[in-house]
């Protein structure tokens, strides 16, 4: 299940538990936020499209933090005029976690996304074992071919 919301002139596809980086919203840290501009909602059985927004769907989230993004360098140069201009810019962001999707007053909450359940982190031990296996196969192939080393 997911929804498409509009915030700050941009559209975002959100599901339960999704963490978004939006343009700054005027809410304090750990406060709740409601997105009423929902463009589309898809459930397991069906989907709804708004024209332009859905009236019976709301998305609720929580503001995790307000911060600034990485610095972007703006450098302009005009050739052969010895003219250069260098500016920097840091965009203000709000980090938001989607907690609930309401459809006709019915709440979809506490569902875990399937992607988080299926992920497995590979460890360094797995990589070492794979390297050792590849080395042993190389040695076996050279022995099978009957290649002799010069003494």
Mean of pLDDT values over 97-103: 94
DSSP, res 44? S
Task: Return the residue matching tokens 């409601």.
Answer: 34
Structure tokens, 2: 């997911």
- Identify whether the C-beta of residue 19 lies closer than 8 Å to the C-beta of residue 97: yes
Given a cut of 90, whether residue 62 has pLDDT beyond it is: yes
| Cβ count within 10 A of residue 94 | 22
pTM: predicted TM-score of the whole model, two decimal places: 0.66
How large is the average pLDDT for residues 35-39?
Answer: 95
pLDDT surpassing 90 at residue 108: no
| Cβ within 8 Å of residue 40, ≥6 positions away | 3, 4, 47, 48, 49, 50, 54
């Amino acid at each position: 299940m997911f929804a498409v919301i509009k915030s700050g002139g941009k559209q975002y596809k959100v599901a339960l538990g999704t963490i978004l980086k939006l343009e700054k919203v005027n809410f304090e840290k750990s406060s709740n936020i409601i997105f009423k501009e929902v463009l589309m909602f898809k459930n397991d059985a069906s989907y709804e499209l708004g024209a332009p927004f859905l009236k019976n769907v709301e998305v609720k989230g929580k503001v995790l933090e307000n911060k600034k993004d990485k610095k972007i360098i703006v450098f302009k140069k005009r050739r052969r005029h010895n003219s250069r201009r260098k500016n920097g810019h840091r965009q203000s962001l709000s980090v938001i976690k989607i907690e609930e999707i309401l459809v006709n007053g019915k709440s979809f909450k506490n569902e875990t996304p399937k992607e988080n359940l299926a992920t497995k982190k590979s460890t360094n031990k797995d990589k070492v074992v794979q390297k050792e296996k590849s080395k042993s196969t190389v040695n076996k192939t050279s022995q099978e071919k009957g290649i002799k080393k010069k003494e």
